[in-house]
């Protein structure tokens, strides 16, 4: 599967943004997991959340719970990250990643994903 992330931009604190991860070569429904990560210069790539297509289940890390949600659009074959009440600390390059099976207990690990999209920059000004 090939992934392409888009939707980043420059926004102010408190604003909203929607990122999309478009899949080609496979349907989202056929994947075991689609995850979002983010990275800032000098720091490791950080897990943000995932969609488990088979169960239509989502999970978001504590720092974004209540502000971010994940959805999917089967018609467009995309997984979307809806970001509300953005904070300057949300700034970073956002990546989507996928696996064909669900990595029980390991979904936050960068090294277990073999399919990555290019990143999209999100900058939140204060």
Q: Looking up tokens 């349907």, which residue turns up?
A: 27
| CA distance linking residue 69 with residue 83, whole number of Å | 7
Per the CB < 8 A criterion, the answer to whether 1 and 27 are in contact is: no
pLDDT for the residue 41? 87
With H, G, I as helix, E, B as strand and everything else as coil, classify residue 53.
Answer: helix
pLDDT for the residue 112? 96
Statement: residue 82 has pLDDT above 90: yes
pLDDT for the residue 124? 98
- Residue 111: exposure state from Cβ atoms within 10 A (0-12, 13-18, ≥19): exposed
Q: Per residue in 44-60, pLDDT tens?
A: 999 999 999 999 999 99
Q: Per residue in 4-58, pLDDT tens?
A: 999 999 999 999 999 999 999 999 999 999 999 999 989 999 999 999 999 999 9
Question: Quick one: residue 61, left, alpha or beta (phi over 0 = left, psi -120 to 50 = alpha)?
Answer: beta
Q: Per residue in 84-125, pLDDT tens?
A: 999 999 999 999 999 999 999 999 999 999 999 999 999 999
């Amino acid at each position: 599967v090939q992934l392409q992330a888009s939707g980043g931009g420059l926004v102010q604190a408190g604003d909203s943004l929607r990122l999309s991860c478009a899949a080609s070569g496979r349907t989202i429904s056929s994947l075991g997991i689609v995850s979002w990560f983010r990275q800032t210069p000098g720091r490791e790539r950080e897990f943000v959340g995932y969609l488990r297509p088979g169960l239509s289940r989502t999970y978001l890390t504590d720092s974004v719970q209540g502000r971010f949600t994940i959805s999917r659009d089967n018609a467009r074959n995309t997984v979307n990250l809806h970001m509300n009440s953005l904070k300057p600390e949300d700034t970073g390059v956002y990546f989507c990643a996928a696996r064909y099976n669900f990595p029980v207990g390991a979904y936050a690990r960068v090294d277990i994903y073999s399919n990555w999209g290019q990143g999209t920059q999100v900058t939140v000004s204060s």
